[in-house]
Protein backbone atom coordinates (compact mmCIF):
# COMPACT_ATOMS: atom_id res chain seq x y z
CA UNK A 1 0.00 0.00 0.00
CA UNK A 2 2.40 2.72 -1.27
CA UNK A 3 0.37 5.84 -0.38
CA UNK A 4 2.84 7.00 2.26
CA UNK A 5 5.77 5.86 4.34
CA UNK A 6 5.44 5.26 8.05
CA UNK A 7 8.09 4.44 10.60
CA UNK A 8 8.37 3.49 14.25
CA UNK A 9 9.18 5.94 17.00
CA UNK A 10 10.32 2.89 18.98
CA UNK A 11 13.48 1.29 17.64
CA UNK A 12 14.07 3.83 14.85
CA UNK A 13 15.36 7.35 14.56
CA UNK A 14 12.43 9.66 15.49
CA UNK A 15 13.84 12.69 13.68
CA UNK A 16 10.86 13.91 11.65
CA UNK A 17 12.82 16.80 10.16
CA UNK A 18 15.50 14.46 8.90
CA UNK A 19 12.98 12.10 7.35
CA UNK A 20 11.22 15.02 5.68
CA UNK A 21 14.51 16.34 4.31
CA UNK A 22 15.39 12.95 2.84
CA UNK A 23 11.95 12.62 1.30
CA UNK A 24 12.18 16.09 -0.29
CA UNK A 25 15.57 15.20 -1.78
CA UNK A 26 14.10 12.28 -3.71
CA UNK A 27 10.76 13.97 -4.50
CA UNK A 28 11.63 17.61 -5.33
CA UNK A 29 8.55 18.36 -7.46
CA UNK A 30 6.16 17.01 -4.86
CA UNK A 31 8.02 18.93 -2.15
CA UNK A 32 7.56 22.23 -4.03
CA UNK A 33 3.85 21.56 -4.55
CA UNK A 34 3.37 20.71 -0.87
CA UNK A 35 5.21 23.89 0.11
CA UNK A 36 2.86 25.98 -2.04
CA UNK A 37 -0.20 24.23 -0.60
CA UNK A 38 1.14 24.77 2.91
CA UNK A 39 1.61 28.49 2.25
CA UNK A 40 -1.95 28.75 0.92
CA UNK A 41 -3.23 26.97 4.02
CA UNK A 42 -1.40 29.39 6.31
CA UNK A 43 -2.81 32.37 4.40
CA UNK A 44 -6.30 30.89 4.58
CA UNK A 45 -6.06 30.36 8.34
CA UNK A 46 -4.82 33.92 8.86
CA UNK A 47 -7.34 35.59 6.56
CA UNK A 48 -10.37 33.43 7.31
CA UNK A 49 -10.76 33.14 11.09
CA UNK A 50 -12.17 29.93 12.53
CA UNK A 51 -13.76 29.45 15.90
CA UNK A 52 -15.42 26.81 17.98
CA UNK A 53 -19.14 27.09 18.56
CA UNK A 54 -20.46 25.83 21.86
CA UNK A 55 -23.47 23.57 21.39
CA UNK A 56 -26.03 23.81 24.12
CA UNK A 57 -29.20 21.88 24.66
CA UNK A 58 -30.33 19.43 27.27
CA UNK A 59 -28.24 18.37 30.25
CA UNK A 60 -24.74 17.18 29.27
CA UNK A 61 -23.15 14.21 31.04
CA UNK A 62 -20.97 14.69 34.09
CA UNK A 63 -17.55 16.09 33.29
CA UNK A 64 -15.43 13.12 32.22
CA UNK A 65 -11.74 13.31 31.51
CA UNK A 66 -11.56 10.26 29.30
CA UNK A 67 -12.18 6.62 28.62
CA UNK A 68 -15.77 7.09 27.46
CA UNK A 69 -17.37 4.46 25.23
CA UNK A 70 -19.10 6.28 22.37
CA UNK A 71 -20.69 5.15 19.10
CA UNK A 72 -22.76 6.81 16.40
CA UNK A 73 -26.24 5.36 16.02
CA UNK A 74 -28.89 6.09 13.42
CA UNK A 75 -31.86 3.78 13.79
CA UNK A 76 -34.84 4.07 11.49
CA UNK A 77 -38.19 3.71 13.24
CA UNK A 78 -40.32 2.82 10.23
CA UNK A 79 -40.35 6.39 8.91
CA UNK A 80 -37.66 5.78 6.33
CA UNK A 81 -35.55 8.50 7.91
CA UNK A 82 -32.54 8.01 10.12
CA UNK A 83 -32.40 9.61 13.54
CA UNK A 84 -28.67 10.05 14.14
CA UNK A 85 -27.44 10.30 17.71
CA UNK A 86 -24.30 9.69 19.71
CA UNK A 87 -24.58 7.04 22.43
CA UNK A 88 -22.14 7.21 25.35
CA UNK A 89 -21.51 5.15 28.45
CA UNK A 90 -19.37 5.69 31.52
CA UNK A 91 -15.93 7.26 31.74
CA UNK A 92 -13.45 8.48 34.34
CA UNK A 93 -14.37 11.73 36.09
CA UNK A 94 -12.17 13.91 38.29
CA UNK A 95 -10.43 12.38 41.30
CA UNK A 96 -10.60 8.96 39.60
CA UNK A 97 -14.33 8.59 40.10
CA UNK A 98 -15.91 6.25 37.56
CA UNK A 99 -19.33 7.18 36.24
CA UNK A 100 -21.98 4.98 34.64
CA UNK A 101 -24.13 7.41 32.70
CA UNK A 102 -26.03 6.16 29.66
CA UNK A 103 -26.86 9.21 27.55
CA UNK A 104 -27.34 10.22 23.95
CA UNK A 105 -26.64 13.35 21.95
CA UNK A 106 -29.14 13.93 19.15
CA UNK A 107 -27.39 15.52 16.20
CA UNK A 108 -30.34 17.14 14.46
CA UNK A 109 -31.77 19.13 17.40
CA UNK A 110 -28.24 19.32 18.90
CA UNK A 111 -29.36 18.36 22.37
CA UNK A 112 -28.46 15.89 25.09
CA UNK A 113 -31.13 13.44 26.18
CA UNK A 114 -31.27 10.95 29.03
CA UNK A 115 -32.01 7.34 28.29
CA UNK A 116 -34.48 5.59 30.55
CA UNK A 117 -32.29 2.64 31.47
CA UNK A 118 -33.84 -0.84 31.38
CA UNK A 119 -31.47 -3.29 33.11
CA UNK A 120 -30.88 -6.91 32.22
CA UNK A 121 -33.32 -9.06 34.19
CA UNK A 122 -30.55 -11.21 35.69
CA UNK A 123 -27.41 -9.08 35.51
CA UNK A 124 -28.56 -5.49 35.87
CA UNK A 125 -26.42 -2.89 34.09
CA UNK A 126 -22.67 -2.66 33.36
CA UNK A 127 -20.38 -1.63 36.19
CA UNK A 128 -18.94 1.89 35.93
CA UNK A 129 -15.75 1.68 33.91
CA UNK A 130 -13.48 3.52 31.55
CA UNK A 131 -11.40 2.71 28.47
CA UNK A 132 -13.78 0.02 27.22
CA UNK A 133 -14.40 -0.41 23.48
CA UNK A 134 -17.72 -0.30 21.67
CA UNK A 135 -19.11 -0.80 18.16
CA UNK A 136 -22.57 -0.80 16.62
CA UNK A 137 -24.13 -3.47 14.43
CA UNK A 138 -24.57 -3.06 10.67
CA UNK A 139 -27.97 -1.40 11.12
CA UNK A 140 -26.56 1.01 13.74
CA UNK A 141 -29.35 0.08 16.14
CA UNK A 142 -27.45 -1.85 18.80
CA UNK A 143 -24.29 -1.06 20.78
CA UNK A 144 -21.81 -3.78 21.75
CA UNK A 145 -19.38 -2.96 24.57
CA UNK A 146 -16.39 -5.02 25.69
CA UNK A 147 -13.95 -4.83 28.56
CA UNK A 148 -12.52 -1.72 30.13
CA UNK A 149 -11.32 -1.07 33.67
CA UNK A 150 -13.59 -0.87 36.70
CA UNK A 151 -12.29 0.25 40.06
CA UNK A 152 -10.91 -3.18 40.92
CA UNK A 153 -11.04 -5.42 37.85
CA UNK A 154 -10.50 -5.87 34.12
CA UNK A 155 -13.81 -7.51 33.18
CA UNK A 156 -13.94 -9.61 30.02
CA UNK A 157 -17.67 -9.05 29.72
CA UNK A 158 -19.72 -8.14 26.66
CA UNK A 159 -22.85 -6.01 26.94
CA UNK A 160 -25.37 -4.88 24.36
CA UNK A 161 -27.52 -1.77 24.52
CA UNK A 162 -30.51 -1.29 22.20
CA UNK A 163 -32.53 1.94 22.31
CA UNK A 164 -36.24 1.49 21.71
CA UNK A 165 -38.88 3.83 20.29
CA UNK A 166 -39.75 5.22 23.72
CA UNK A 167 -36.24 6.40 24.45
CA UNK A 168 -35.31 3.49 26.71
CA UNK A 169 -31.80 2.04 26.78
CA UNK A 170 -32.22 -1.72 27.10
CA UNK A 171 -29.06 -3.34 28.45
CA UNK A 172 -28.40 -7.07 27.97
CA UNK A 173 -25.51 -9.14 29.31
CA UNK A 174 -23.99 -11.64 26.87
CA UNK A 175 -23.60 -15.09 28.43
CA UNK A 176 -21.09 -17.45 26.86
CA UNK A 177 -21.18 -21.22 27.20
CA UNK A 178 -18.63 -22.73 29.54
CA UNK A 179 -16.56 -24.15 26.69
CA UNK A 180 -16.59 -20.96 24.63
CA UNK A 181 -13.39 -19.03 24.00
CA UNK A 182 -13.40 -15.60 25.65
CA UNK A 183 -11.06 -12.71 24.91
CA UNK A 184 -9.12 -11.67 28.04
CA UNK A 185 -10.18 -8.46 29.75
CA UNK A 186 -8.27 -5.28 28.91
CA UNK A 187 -8.41 -1.51 28.74
CA UNK A 188 -7.54 0.98 26.00
CA UNK A 189 -7.89 -1.50 23.13
CA UNK A 190 -9.29 -0.60 19.70
CA UNK A 191 -12.32 -2.16 18.00
CA UNK A 192 -14.20 -2.01 14.70
CA UNK A 193 -17.16 -3.78 13.11
CA UNK A 194 -16.40 -5.47 9.80
CA UNK A 195 -19.03 -7.62 8.15
CA UNK A 196 -21.03 -8.08 11.32
CA UNK A 197 -18.09 -9.10 13.49
CA UNK A 198 -16.32 -7.08 16.17
CA UNK A 199 -12.54 -7.06 15.81
CA UNK A 200 -10.57 -6.11 18.93
CA UNK A 201 -6.82 -5.52 18.90
CA UNK A 202 -4.37 -4.79 21.68
CA UNK A 203 -4.91 -3.04 24.97
CA UNK A 204 -3.40 -3.27 28.42
CA UNK A 205 -3.95 -5.60 31.37
CA UNK A 206 -2.62 -5.42 34.92
CA UNK A 207 -2.96 -7.33 38.15
CA UNK A 208 -5.17 -5.15 40.32
CA UNK A 209 -5.89 -5.22 44.05
CA UNK A 210 -9.18 -4.64 45.83
CA UNK A 211 -7.97 -1.10 46.48
CA UNK A 212 -7.37 -0.50 42.78
CA UNK A 213 -3.57 -0.68 42.88
CA UNK A 214 -2.08 -2.04 39.64
CA UNK A 215 1.11 -4.07 39.16
CA UNK A 216 2.72 -6.46 36.66
CA UNK A 217 1.10 -4.67 33.74
CA UNK A 218 1.28 -6.16 30.26
CA UNK A 219 0.78 -4.67 26.82
CA UNK A 220 -1.41 -6.93 24.68
CA UNK A 221 -0.73 -7.73 21.03
CA UNK A 222 -3.56 -10.10 20.18
CA UNK A 223 -6.42 -9.82 17.69
CA UNK A 224 -9.84 -11.27 18.52
CA UNK A 225 -13.14 -11.45 16.67
CA UNK A 226 -16.73 -11.94 17.85
CA UNK A 227 -19.70 -12.61 15.58
CA UNK A 228 -22.30 -10.01 16.55
CA UNK A 229 -25.21 -12.12 15.35
CA UNK A 230 -24.60 -15.38 17.19
CA UNK A 231 -22.56 -13.95 20.10
CA UNK A 232 -21.52 -17.52 20.79
CA UNK A 233 -17.72 -17.49 21.09
CA UNK A 234 -14.63 -15.38 20.56
CA UNK A 235 -11.95 -16.42 18.07
CA UNK A 236 -8.31 -15.39 18.34
CA UNK A 237 -7.07 -14.53 14.86
CA UNK A 238 -3.49 -13.53 15.59
CA UNK A 239 -1.02 -12.80 18.37
CA UNK A 240 2.32 -11.02 18.42
CA UNK A 241 5.31 -13.34 18.79
CA UNK A 242 6.52 -12.94 22.37
CA UNK A 243 10.18 -12.10 22.84
CA UNK A 244 10.59 -10.53 19.41
CA UNK A 245 11.88 -6.96 19.17
CA UNK A 246 11.90 -6.80 15.37
CA UNK A 247 9.38 -4.49 13.66
CA UNK A 248 9.05 -7.07 10.86
CA UNK A 249 7.17 -9.74 12.80
CA UNK A 250 4.10 -9.85 10.60
CA UNK A 251 1.99 -7.50 12.66
CA UNK A 252 1.85 -4.58 15.09
CA UNK A 253 3.70 -4.66 18.40
CA UNK A 254 1.73 -4.94 21.67
CA UNK A 255 0.27 -1.56 22.61
CA UNK A 256 -2.63 0.36 24.10
CA UNK A 257 -4.24 3.72 23.44
CA UNK A 258 -4.13 3.23 19.68
CA UNK A 259 -6.91 4.02 17.21
CA UNK A 260 -8.59 1.90 14.55
CA UNK A 261 -10.92 2.38 11.63
CA UNK A 262 -12.22 0.45 8.61
CA UNK A 263 -10.95 0.82 5.04
CA UNK A 264 -12.64 -0.84 2.05
CA UNK A 265 -10.38 -1.17 -0.99
CA UNK A 266 -11.06 -2.49 -4.48
CA UNK A 267 -8.06 -3.95 -6.30
CA UNK A 268 -7.31 -4.03 -10.03
CA UNK A 269 -9.28 -7.27 -10.42
CA UNK A 270 -12.36 -5.69 -8.88
CA UNK A 271 -12.11 -7.63 -5.61
CA UNK A 272 -13.22 -5.68 -2.57
CA UNK A 273 -11.39 -6.21 0.71
CA UNK A 274 -12.14 -4.77 4.14
CA UNK A 275 -9.26 -3.80 6.40
CA UNK A 276 -8.99 -3.00 10.07
CA UNK A 277 -6.49 -0.14 10.05
CA UNK A 278 -4.57 0.44 13.29
CA UNK A 279 -2.58 3.61 13.93
CA UNK A 280 -0.17 4.66 16.69
CA UNK A 281 -0.60 3.77 20.36
CA UNK A 282 1.89 3.48 23.16
CA UNK A 283 3.85 1.03 25.28
CA UNK A 284 5.76 1.62 28.50
CA UNK A 285 8.91 2.38 26.49
CA UNK A 286 7.35 5.08 24.31
CA UNK A 287 4.94 5.85 21.49
CA UNK A 288 4.31 4.43 18.01
CA UNK A 289 3.48 6.23 14.76
CA UNK A 290 3.13 3.16 12.54
CA UNK A 291 0.14 2.04 10.46
CA UNK A 292 -0.92 -1.59 10.17
CA UNK A 293 -3.91 -3.03 8.31
CA UNK A 294 -5.55 -6.41 8.95
CA UNK A 295 -6.56 -7.93 5.62
CA UNK A 296 -9.82 -9.75 6.34
CA UNK A 297 -9.62 -11.65 3.05
CA UNK A 298 -6.06 -12.96 3.49
CA UNK A 299 -6.30 -12.94 7.31
CA UNK A 300 -2.93 -11.31 7.79
CA UNK A 301 -1.42 -7.92 8.66
CA UNK A 302 -0.01 -5.54 6.07
CA UNK A 303 2.52 -2.86 7.01
CA UNK A 304 1.19 0.34 5.45
pLDDT in tens, 253-284: 999 999 999 999 999 899 999 999 999 999 98
Q: What per-residue confidence (pLDDT) applies to 170?
A: 92
The 3-state DSSP class for residue 52 equals coil
User: Quick one: pLDDT band at residue 191, thresholds 50, 70, 90?
Assistant: very high
Among residues 109, 146, 151, the alpha carbon closest in space to that of 129 is found at 151
Average predicted confidence (pLDDT) for the chain: 80
pLDDT band at 298 (very low <50, low <70, confident <90, very high): very high
> Model confidence at 5, in pLDDT bands (50, 70, 90)?
very low
Whether residue 220 has pLDDT greater than 80:
yes
Contacts of 155 (CB under 8 A, 6+ apart): 127, 129, 147, 148, 185
* Domain extent listing, the chain: 1-51, 65-303
Strands of the sheet containing 168-173, edge to edge, are 116-118, 168-173, 158-163, 143-146, 133-136
Report the pLDDT value the prediction gives residue 235, as an integer from 0 to 100.
96
Q: Could you tell me what percent of the chain has a pLDDT over 70?
A: 72
pLDDT at 47: 46
Chain segment 52-104, per-residue pLDDT in tens? 777 667 666 666 557 777 777 765 444 444 567 777 777 766 556 676 778 77
Does residue 143 surpass a pLDDT of 80? yes
| Pairwise pLDDT comparison (71 vs 186), residue with the higher score | 186
Is CATH 1.10.1660.10 correct for 65-303? no
- pLDDT at residue 26 in the model: 59
The pLDDT score that the predictor gives to residue 65 is: 57
Closest CA to 199 of 255, 146, 265, 240: 146
pTM for this prediction: 0.76
pLDDT in the model for residue 30: 58
CA separation for the pair 135, 160 (Å, rounded): 10
Is 193 a residue whose pLDDT tops 90? yes
Cβ atoms 240, 277 nearer than 8 A: no
Amino acid sequence: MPWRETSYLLGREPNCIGRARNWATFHPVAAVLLSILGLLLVVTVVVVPTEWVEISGGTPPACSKGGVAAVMSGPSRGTGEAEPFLSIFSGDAKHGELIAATKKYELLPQAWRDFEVVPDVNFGTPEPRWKSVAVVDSSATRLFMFGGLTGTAYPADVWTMAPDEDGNAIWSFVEFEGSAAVAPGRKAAAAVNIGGTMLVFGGKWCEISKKGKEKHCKELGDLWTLDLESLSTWEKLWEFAEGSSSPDTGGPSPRHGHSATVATIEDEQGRVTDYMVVFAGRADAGYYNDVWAWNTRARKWEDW
